[in-house]
Structure 1
């Protein structure tokens, strides 16, 4: 006997409780457990989060960097909702203050997109990070999307230009060039081997 999965709306997702520590993304109305990733995945996300916070403070930008604490509602053609939780999200401080007033820290479709999102690729998330999320983040108008890929040994920076992402790939000792963080001095090797 096959049991049909119950699809959830965004509202149901926000109120979902399963009595476990599992974190879920909502994809086309279905709960998709987020893999923990390996220790390197976590180290890379933490390294980027910490360095972006330091850079924000050093330059004096009115922004914040958040690690796996901000959801981003994604547009879908069908009737079922999708909500992603990037590894790192950079957003204006004022927007974060507004999210703190909500029950859940979810940026909905009627709100401005974050300034930058970063996804660290795992073996199980390659296709989603490179294809699905890239398409969703383009439609949302997120100005910059980093795909940090320790498996391929590269970082792809997608910059939104006239409604489409232009991409730049960086490898090895190359310094990352970000339009959002123009003065950031990090190489791919530093990021992938924190």
Structure 2
């Protein structure tokens, strides 16, 4: 469950430098800080598997990309989201090494792993925000439904394909990817 903290509205710039002296993680939603609950171990293991898989694909294809976990992306004037896994242009990351890991340029791929408290956020809010940012590919990994939704941006809207079981995921970013839903969810 997320909790909204403090009544003060934050600008994006204030959010980027906010430190409450804790290890809490926050998203910025319409100027309000929303505390993110710590993820489950399954969530962490799925993110780690995807990061390793994407890193291997990047290396094999010799792409100028970098895969990150828990990086942020600015999704609006007073909005910023934390992505579970994301793939970015490596030059874009290199230019901002000493800045907060909140990108103002959208990644080429974003992954969200659904938990009971993030269903609406991952399927509805982030979907519309990521489409508005024109993130080309958005994965929704849902251990609750035993499925992975791959959303590919087409003319400003996402076209969704749902994968289950032994189905191999088709990715526009990583066309040689050989990964099934069962492999992702059986961590």
Fold shared, TM-score > 0.5 on shorter chain: yes
Residues 63-98 of structure 1 deviation map (CA, whole Å, 9 limit, x = unaligned):
010011x2111126xxxx010010001011101101
Alignment check: 8 A CA contact 2:6 2:32 kept: no
SS in 2 for 1:124: coil
Q: CA RMSD in A?
A: 1.4
Partner residue of 2:92 out of 90, 95, 99: 95
Matched, 1:58 2:63: no
The structure 2 residue matched to 1:20, chosen from 3, 22, 25, is 22
Q: Which one has a larger percent strand, Structure 1 or Structure 2? A: 2
* Cα separation, partners in 2 of 1:173 and 1:17, compared to 1, 3 Å: same
Match of 2:170 among 144, 165, 177: 177
Instruction: Give unpaired runs (5+ residues) of structure 2.
Output: none
The alignment partner of 2:117 has SS state of helix
- Tell me the CA shift for residue 4 of structure 1: 7.2
2:43 paired residue number: 41
Aligned length: 183
Inter-partner Cα distance in structure 1 for 2:17 and 2:39: 25
Give the 3-state SS of the residue equivalent to 1:100 in structure 2: coil
Partners of 2:6 and 2:33 within 8 A in 1:
no
In the superposition, the TM-score normalised over structure 1's length comes to: 0.91
| Distance in structure 2 (CA, Å) of the matches to 1:94 and 1:35 | 31
Which residue is 2:75 aligned to?
A: 74
Give 2:183's aligned residue. Answer: 190
Contact 1:116/1:180 (8 A) holds in 2? yes
Any idea what SS the aligned residue of 1:72 has?
strand
Q: What CA deviation, in whole Å up to 9, does each residue of 1:108-146 have, x standing for no partner?
A: 2xx3x2100000000000000000000000000000000
Separation in 1 of the partners of 2:18 and 2:64?
Answer: 33
Long gaps (5+) in structure 1: none
Provide runs of 4+ in structure 1 moved above 3 Å: none
Paired position in structure 2 for 1:127:
120
Structure 2: distance between partners of 1:36 and 1:45 = 13
